Structure 1
């Protein structure tokens, strides 16, 4: 528990809520119900072990902050997440209701553990330790199967390492969600491209097979799309997008926008994790991703 004033409000509430939910307890020394609620909140902060941060604001001493939140009676509690108030309650509440309020909004222990594993996995990847990263991502998915971000990173890494069968097994629980999820849909586009190459009717294709068809007819979009999928399966990302742009420049709507969908999928696949930056700053975009986003916009909007 921490006492907050105007001087430290920005750091201890706004900035802190970008990392962990912050429960702001507006109270006053003369308030009887506050003396009942305060110890309960402190007890829960300890029990919840880092799932939220409790701060207290003396509404008599910090009238500017009380006015900013429109406090009309005390105790009043406001839950802050990502710099914004998301919910709150007035009056002393029994412990059961306080737990229900917190559990409604706070990440579960499993979600926190999965996020921690995912963060460690990204650190391992940054240092080049793919085995350690893969182990941590696998554990993150096992700990929190509903964490689609961790699953995306896990399946993507398996595919990057050429472990297609393992990737398909890991992807199977969410395959029904791929249609409505850009990130999961991107993985399916990638796996479909791998299957396209593996099951090519004339045997394993080569770049020359597609080049010959395109040379004979520059509007052979089937050949161009096949070449793009072949490049995608080989993780030749920018070359695949260049080929897809060739289709889009000639026919944006070909095959119900298949080229655009594949292009967007590749952008999702190659988008690196956003680096951690100081609160309030916008992380820089990867230059390759930024360049190819602009090229797509230029073609689609022309």
Structure 2
């Protein structure tokens, strides 16, 4: 989009373009070119007036328009661009759909399928944080904690602060520190000492490691209720780590946060 700060129609068109392109889920990118700051670029594209919109594919202009257009016209232009992409790149991977398929496979414990899908995504986009995080989660799930740590330690710096990566690294930290005892063995000890904060915490950790999310949450909630200030608020801090490891969209995180808020503010 070639525009200028003094151009009234540009201010009308820009939010419409942003809305339509943002709805494409990353399939189309919007480049905003201020002609006052980039006169050479405007000249190279033979821009006569602003706003001027040029649709590009593989570095070449394929369509465009000048002035303000109805939203439907712009949507048609975007659809034409996507059709060109399908014709020229029929085998291009639909990454959002692939990530959803991998997530479904993970939910069904089909780790081989999920791993294959994440591998295909990374072959297409070697900085895809969600795919890297998925790979690490698979390794954690199958007990390859050392290998999961190696993958985590070798991640590109560009994606280190991505929420997918920070979340899975929290999950990895918890996996590295999980207690050695089995859940049922700790449960027997807990039955004999139900108010023991150390055993309650150990049981929550074992439940987390076993994927018993609600049980892990409820155990730490019980610990906070009985021993609120135990070891400098350790139970509450650990519960927040669980939520981060699971991610904000996980139902266990949502229900757990409600339980924690209800307890703390009742």
TM superposition score normalised by structure 1: 0.54
Structure 2: runs of 5+ lacking an equivalent: 3-8, 70-92
Per-residue CA distance 1:2-55 (angstroms, 9 max, x = gap)? 9x999987664323135343134688xxxx9786243599999334589xx996
Say whether the 8 Å CA contact 2:136–2:168 is kept in structure 1.
no
Say whether the 8 Å CA contact 2:207–2:213 is kept in structure 1.
yes
Q: How does 1:47-196 map to 2 (within 5 A)?
A: 47-48=58-59, 57-58=66-67, 62=68, 117=95, 119-126=97-104, 130-138=111-119, 140=121, 147-173=128-154, 182-194=166-178, 196=179
Say whether the 8 Å CA contact 2:168–2:245 is kept in structure 1.
no
Structure 1 range deviating more: 240-249 or 8-17: 8-17
How far apart are the structure 2 equivalents of 1:207 and 1:146?
41
How far apart are residue 245 of structure 1 and its match? Answer: 0.8
How far apart are the structure 2 equivalents of 1:49 and 1:249?
64
How has the CA–CA distance of structure 1 residues 173 and 300 changed in structure 2, closer, same or farther, with 3 Å as cutoff? farther
How far apart are the structure 1 equivalents of 2:100 and 2:153?
23
**Helix, strand or coil at the partner of 1:249:** helix
**Helix, strand or coil at the partner of 2:31:** strand
How far apart are residue 123 of structure 1 and its match? Answer: 1.4
How far apart are residue 124 of structure 1 and its match? Answer: 3.7
How has the CA–CA distance of structure 1 residues 295 and 213 changed in structure 2, closer, same or farther, with 3 Å as cutoff? closer
Per-residue CA distance 1:248-291 (angstroms, 9 max, x = gap)? 2233443343322332233334448xxxxxxxxxxxx5544322
Per-residue CA distance 1:177-213 (angstroms, 9 max, x = gap)? 79x975144223431244x22xxxxxx4453444434
Residue 31 of structure 2 corresponds to 23
**Helix, strand or coil at the partner of 1:45:** strand
Structure 1: runs of 5+ lacking an equivalent: 64-114, 198-203, 273-284
Q: Please report the RMSD computed on the Cα atoms of aligned residues, expressed in angstroms.
A: 4.8
How has the CA–CA distance of structure 1 residues 13 and 121 changed in structure 2, closer, same or farther, with 3 Å as cutoff? closer
**Helix, strand or coil at the partner of 2:130:** helix
Residue 263 of structure 2 corresponds to 299
How far apart are the structure 2 equivalents of 1:254 and 1:297?
18
How has the CA–CA distance of structure 1 residues 159 and 44 changed in structure 2, closer, same or farther, with 3 Å as cutoff? same
Q: How does 1:192-211 map to 2 (within 5 A)?
A: 192-194=176-178, 196-197=179-180, 204-211=181-188
How far apart are residue 173 of structure 1 and its match? Answer: 2.7
